[in-house]
Amino acid sequence: MTLASTDITTSAVASALQGKKVDTAGTIFRAALLATLVFTVVVLLTLLVSVVQDAMPILSGEPLTSEVRSDLVDTTTDPPTITQFGETFDVQISTDAAGNETYFQLDERSFGDFVGGNVNFTNPAENGIKQGIFGSLGIAVMVLVFSIPIGVGAAVYLEEYSKASRFTRLVDVNIRNLAGVPSIVYGILGFTVLVTALNGITGGRSLISGGITLAILVLPVVIITSAEAVRAVPQPIREAGYGVGATRWEVTRYHVLPYAMPGILTGTMLSLARALGEAAPLILVGAQTGFFTDPEGALDRLTGNFTALPMLVFNFTRQPGDALKTEGAAAAIVVLLLVVLFVNATGIILRNSFEKKRS
């Protein structure tokens, strides 16, 4: 055997063992995966940017322009004005290439007025979302008041009190199924039970009905996340409690629940964010779809007409004219997103900070 042929054999064996230097299939696969991830990020950014762009006229307080007939405009003043229904507005005149003049009435608006104003479909310049913000606040309170005690109670039952019985298994399976029921079906529940059957108590199509419906909607999620938090409490903590003679309730109250609280709060926050963004059940329960007068007094607020931020977004998108359909809806979405993302972020930060502390 010559030296050269040994060399060839060595290099052939080496390359067979090492494989190709460039892993084409692997690179393509990895690039494809990365592309999907980038797609997700880009979609989110596009969504946020396009919404803010659409909302910009209201966010920056740009006046609403609407074309008016030239003979109604008083051109003696500077700038020209128009008087409609006793109110005077500035008029902008734009001239095209052919020298034709078009008159635009300028309606002042500001983001502050938008947030603090009542719903008004007839005059988009004075449209606001105050009633939606109040409604969403009321819903948030009701979701917390109803879903925390019942949700945590059920979770504690499942993790601390239950024995392996048929009832426990039924509850367990049932909760996981409820978590998958479409939100609009909860709307049907709210309509038949709260709006129709319990009309005397809830006042029919009211904030109470809407709030309880959404509380029931998020209940399964509250139960599941709370049960997970309770399950994560180390067994020795319970045993130490029982060892010094505490009852089951005392162990739960003074040891298990405080330890599980961050997890429970995280789950509650994420559920609350979901409830604040839901509109489908509210459509069924009868949130107002148009202008309505504010109820007077605290009790009437609970049992009277109501709407909520996501409902307003839905209603705005159904109106004719860009001022409501695009700008109004987008500005309402900006407020809604701020609220929802703030609540969501609170939950996520809570979770992360406690995860770090424990590990």
Partner 1 sequence: MTALTIDDLQGDRKRSRKEALVSRLFTAAAAFSIVVSALIVISLFREAFLYLTGIKLDWPVYLQGDLPFIGARTEFWTQTGQGVVLSDLWTTGWFPRRGLFDVKTLLVASLGTTAVAMLIATPVGIGTAVYLSEYANPLVRRIVKPVIEVLAGIPSVVLGFFALSWIAPNVVDRVFDPTSSANLLVAGIGVGILTIPLVASISEDALQSVPMSLREAAYGVGAKKVQTVVRVVIPAALSGLVAAFIVAVSRAIGETLVVTIAAGGSGGAAFPGSFPSPEMLTEPGLTMTAAMATVAAGSDQVVGQGNAFQSLFFVGLVLFVLTFVLNIAADRIVRRFRQVY
Considering only residues 170 through 199, tell me which ones interact with partner 1, judged by CB under 8 A: 170-171, 174-178, 180-189, 191-193, 195
List the beta bridge partners of residue 66.
Answer: 105
Contact with partner 1 (CB under 8 A) among 79, 258, 290, 321: 290
Does position 25 bind partner 1 by CB under 8 A?
yes
Does position 215 bind partner 1 by CB under 8 A?
no
Nearest partner of 221 among 181, 280, 281, judged by Cα: 181
The DSSP letter of residue 101 is: E
Closer residue to partner 1 (CB): 101 or 250? 250
Strand residues in 28-134 grouped as ranges (E): 64-68, 73-74, 81-84, 87-95, 101-107
- b/e for 55-88, b at 16 or more Cβ within 10 A? bebbbeeebbbeebeeeebeeeeeebbbeeeeee
Does position 79 bind partner 1 by CB under 8 A?
no
Closer residue to partner 1 (CB): 83 or 291? 291
Shortest reach from residue 268's CB to partner 1, in Å: 14
* Site residues (CB under 8 A) for partner 1, limited to 266-285: 270, 273-274, 276-280, 283-285
Closer residue to partner 1 (CB): 93 or 185? 185
Does position 133 bind partner 1 by CB under 8 A?
no
Closer residue to partner 1 (CB): 34 or 93? 34
Contact with partner 1 (CB under 8 A) among 91, 144, 219, 233: 219
CA distance 149 to 229: 15
Q: Site size for partner 1, by CB under 8 A?
A: 94
Contacts of 261 by beta carbon, 8 Å cutoff, 6+ apart = 229
Does position 258 bind partner 1 by CB under 8 A?
no
Closer residue to partner 1 (CB): 6 or 167? 167
Angle between helix axes 130-156 and 207-231 (nearest 10 degrees) is 40
Closer residue to partner 1 (CB): 69 or 163? 163
- H or E segment and range at residue 262: helix 257-277
Parallel/antiparallel/unpaired status of strands 73-74 and 101-107: unpaired
Instruction: Return the number of other C-beta atoms located less than 10 Å from residue 121's C-beta.
Output: 17
Contact with partner 1 (CB under 8 A) among 5, 36, 60, 122: 36
* Site residues (CB under 8 A) for partner 1, limited to 1-20: 19
* Site residues (CB under 8 A) for partner 1, limited to 225-254: 247-249
Does position 321 bind partner 1 by CB under 8 A?
no
| CA dihedral over 340, 344, 345, 350, signed as positive or negative | positive
CA distance 140 to 31: 43
Structure tokens at 244: 């010094």
Closer residue to partner 1 (CB): 104 or 205? 205
DSSP-based three-state secondary structure for 294: coil
Distance, CA of 285 to chain centre: 18
* Site residues (CB under 8 A) for partner 1, limited to 301-320: 310, 313-314, 317-318
Shortest reach from residue 21's CB to partner 1, in Å: 12
Structure tokens at 84: 């409609």
Closer residue to partner 1 (CB): 115 or 341? 341
Does position 58 bind partner 1 by CB under 8 A?
no
